[in-house]
Amino acid sequence: MLVLAPSSLRAGIIALGDVTPISAPEQFEGSLFVGDTGAGVLIVNDGSLLQSHRNYIGNGENSRGTVLIDGAGTVWQMSRGSALYIGIEGRGELIVTNGANVAENVHDPSAPAAFLHAFLGSGSSGSGRVSVVGTDSLLNIADLWIGNAGDGRLDVSSGGTVQAQSVSIGSPANGQGSLHVSGAGSRLSADEVLLIRSSGGEIRIENGGHFSAPRVSSYEGPGQITNLAIDGPNSQFNVASTFDLGRSGVGDSGQISLNISDGGVANTGAANVSPGGLNAQLNVDIDGAESRWTVSGDARISQYRGSTVAVNLSNGGLLEATGDVILNFDDEGGAFTFDQGALKGQTILARPDDFHGVGTIEAKGWLLRGNWTVSSFTDLPTEFVLDELPGQHIAVSVDWNATVAPLGVDDGELNITDGSDLSSAWGYAGYFSGSKGAINVHGRETRWRMGDHTYVGYDGIGILNIFEGAVVNGNSASVQSSDSALVGVGSTVAVDGVNTEWNLDGMLEIGRQGSLIVTGGGVVSSGRASLSASSAQATATIDGAGSRWTIAGTLEIGQLGHSLLALSNGGYVESQETSFRGSSRSNATVNIAGSESLWHTIGDISTTDDCDLDLSISDGGRLTVGGDFRFSQSTRLHLTLVADEEPSLEIGGDLLLNGELQIDLANGTALTPGQEFLIVSVAGNVDGAFPMFAEGALVGKFGGAPLSISYHGGDGNDIVLTSLGLSGDYDHNGVVDSGDFLVWQRGESAHADGIADLGYWAANYGYANENHIKTHQTPEPAAIMLALVALAMCYRRATRSCRRDLQRL
């Protein structure tokens, strides 16, 4: 038996053994140690007031400290900014009982504490325990850390109360924490958050105890073990907002369990529950009549490859969500099992084979499979049984509600009949991995309105066809396919035909292996748009006169993977602003081809060096920019010139040049000496130049005719290409032939400089000034060399015999 000699004894405050200061005064602004290096006990009772600043209970290794705060009216007040360490490297215990209070504000102990922090088991070898026992017994703390680096435990029982701003259990330093609230009237409340840190811990609410917090968050940690149990009638675990249990992953080999039994109740906001990495486990068990987990919002239970998830509803246990119930099971490691339990939610986002056993499901929406033709929700089934698996008999009741239910098909085909007028909360096609769903909406009087998002492909492959004048409206949409989908087999939205429309108020995201195809005068509009693929390619094709895609806000292209925007045959795209940005793996291609094909950006176009941009404009296509256009060093501009066309680019603001320029001629385009091509019209200022082409440099030679570039053409601030004519065509008949030699011989060639002009003639002999095509047979190199030798021998000799010799060559 450990016997402590009293070092101070007076009414209300008793200090025994290793207590510093030894007198234990009522007011003390320094550090109070109870069990600094040895064993110490401090007792405060009889309505006494103890005031202190920094406090250490069980400080050093092998130390042991105990503080008892006992009795109604007894208060331990800690000053603002103070801290309470219980079990730093030794063993520490605080007991608050029989209506005593530990608080920051002596005048109002229940007022929220702002600066008082408590650590239970703060050192790696420390063990700290706090017990709050009895009606009106109160511990009021700003931040409470249970198992910071060592072992920590909080017990609230027999009507005791713990009030904190935040509560943390476990730690990155492998601390072990446990939290128990037991008995009617016992309560733990966190005004801000309960944090389950990377090492995890145990939380038990039982025998009528209550826990409450606005939110619960979990941290990732390998090997984390977290057990949350709510057991017994009127035992409650209340989370007003988000409930994240292992949401970001417990880590490899971790374990999470949520057990609700014997009438226990969990009331949470939107829930995200997942096991984490390889070999991690998640078990959710709701067992017994009146045992329930009620979720205000969506309930999402996820299982990742290599982990296991087991959800069990038994003996009347109930999981009910006011939002959707979402089972994200990546492989066979996930199972949702009924044993006379029940599941309720708005829409149940799960595969039929995710469910096992015997039970009931009630929903207001369901993911369809198979082939369906609908004109209204009344065409959809309301009662059916899942019984395809051995031992499976789950009665499903769906009260289709257009304000909350989705419409679509996960695996199969959905046809919305001509003339239908439908509304749904959201839409989907090809939602789960391995599925392929197609939706066909057609007919001039057909309308489909969605209040929220449209998933065209999610983990599967989705197809949405809108044609023959049908109109589909929604808030936002994503067009993508799973990374595991076959390359080249992706999700597609096709909008075809005059008066056919797809209208979105918000974001249109064309992602991995996703395609948007607008043809035949179809129209797409969205508030914003993103064309970016984390793998494979994201594509938008706008083809044909009247085919349009208008973006009221910003169009973002090329953040990840490869992105392609193609306009052809009069297709039109308009955006408020455009941003090309990405990563080292991203590249974007824009093709604008054909007369009347136009991309118009009302504001600026910006590019960054980490996104390779290939901008190709050909056959009369155009890009107009109302604001500024910044070329990055990773921008490549490829223009195919057509005579007598408007500028390929029109810039309403300033132009910052960089990157590369490539020029080609369209088929049938011939160059004449002095011909100009206004390729970029700039209303503002031009800053810089294409690094490979200085002012006056040749950008290429076409049929022997060079084109030079000027950054001061047009009205003095435009980029113009000028044809310098066909080198060697000294009689200007469009062909380099023997007649041009006679002009040279008379000294009337382009520069009248002898051998140099002769070299131009020899190099281009046989070329015609038409589209890179030789219209005369080009002499063999040996013949040209003989001609040059002969010419050198008779340089400036205009004898008839010499002319005859050369003409034979």
Structure tokens at 235: 């035992």
Domain stops at, among 213, 238, 254: 213
Q: Would you say residue 725 lies in a domain?
A: no
Calpha distance 146→582 (Å, rounded): 43
User: Is 105 found in the same domain as 18?
Assistant: yes
Structure tokens at 93: 């215990």
φ, ψ (nearest 5 deg) of residue 686: -105, 125
User: Is 779 found in the same domain as 653?
Assistant: no
User: Is 773 found in the same domain as 646?
Assistant: no
Q: Would you say residue 14 lies in a domain?
A: yes
Q: Which residues pair with 493 in a beta bridge?
A: 464, 516
Is 663 in contact with 707 (CB distance < 8 Å)? yes
Beta-carbon count within 10 A of 737 CB: 19
Q: Would you say residue 456 lies in a domain?
A: yes
User: Is 155 found in the same domain as 10?
Assistant: yes
Calpha distance 209→160 (Å, rounded): 10
Give the residue numbers spanning the domain of 156.
6-213
Q: Would you say residue 645 lies in a domain?
A: yes
Q: What is the H or E stretch that residue 443 is in?
A: none
Cis peptide bond upstream of 21, omega within 30: yes
* Unique residue bearing structure tokens 């030794």: 90
Is 779 in contact with 762 (CB distance < 8 Å)? no
pLDDT computed for residue 537 by the predictor: 84
φ, ψ (nearest 5 deg) of residue 284: -120, 120
Calpha distance 174→161 (Å, rounded): 28
Category of 652 on φ-ψ map: left (φ > 0), alpha (ψ -120 to 50) or beta: alpha
pLDDT computed for residue 569 by the predictor: 97
User: Is 35 found in the same domain as 181?
Assistant: yes
User: Is 648 found in the same domain as 513?
Assistant: yes
User: Is 743 found in the same domain as 658?
Assistant: no
Say how many residues make up the chain.
809
pLDDT computed for residue 35 by the predictor: 97
Q: Would you say residue 219 lies in a domain?
A: no
Radius of gyration of the chain (CA): 40
Beta-carbon count within 10 A of 527 CB: 17
Calpha distance 571→567 (Å, rounded): 5
User: Is 742 found in the same domain as 664?
Assistant: no
Is 518 in contact with 547 (CB distance < 8 Å)? yes
Q: Would you say residue 564 lies in a domain?
A: yes
State the DSSP string of 487-547. TT--EEEEEESTT-EEEESSEEEE-TTEEEEEETT-EEEESEEEE--SSSEEEEEEESTT-
Is 510 in contact with 479 (CB distance < 8 Å)? yes
Calpha distance 441→449 (Å, rounded): 12
Segment-wise mean pLDDT, segments of 10 residues, the chain, 809 residues: 40 90 61 95 94 92 97 90 92 98 83 84 94 98 92 98 94 85 97 86 97 89 82 98 75 83 98 83 95 97 84 98 89 88 95 95 94 92 95 96 89 93 94 91 94 92 96 96 62 97 97 94 98 82 98 89 93 96 77 95 90 91 96 92 85 95 84 86 94 90 80 90 78 80 79 68 72 37 47 44 41
User: Is 767 found in the same domain as 634?
Assistant: no
Domain stops at, among 193, 213, 233: 213
User: Is 749 found in the same domain as 648?
Assistant: no
pLDDT computed for residue 772 by the predictor: 35
User: Is 649 found in the same domain as 500?
Assistant: yes
Q: Would you say residue 346 lies in a domain?
A: no
User: Is 175 found in the same domain as 76?
Assistant: yes
**Which residues, at least 6 apart from 634, have a Cβ–Cβ distance to it below 8 Å?**
607, 608, 609, 610, 611, 612, 613, 659
Domain stops at, among 197, 213, 229: 213
Is 312 in contact with 342 (CB distance < 8 Å)? no
pLDDT computed for residue 306 by the predictor: 78
Q: Would you say residue 556 lies in a domain?
A: yes
pLDDT computed for residue 723 by the predictor: 87
Q: Which residues pair with 550 in a beta bridge?
A: 525, 574
Selection from 446, 450, 445 nearest residue 408 by Cα: 450
Tally of structural domains, the chain: 3
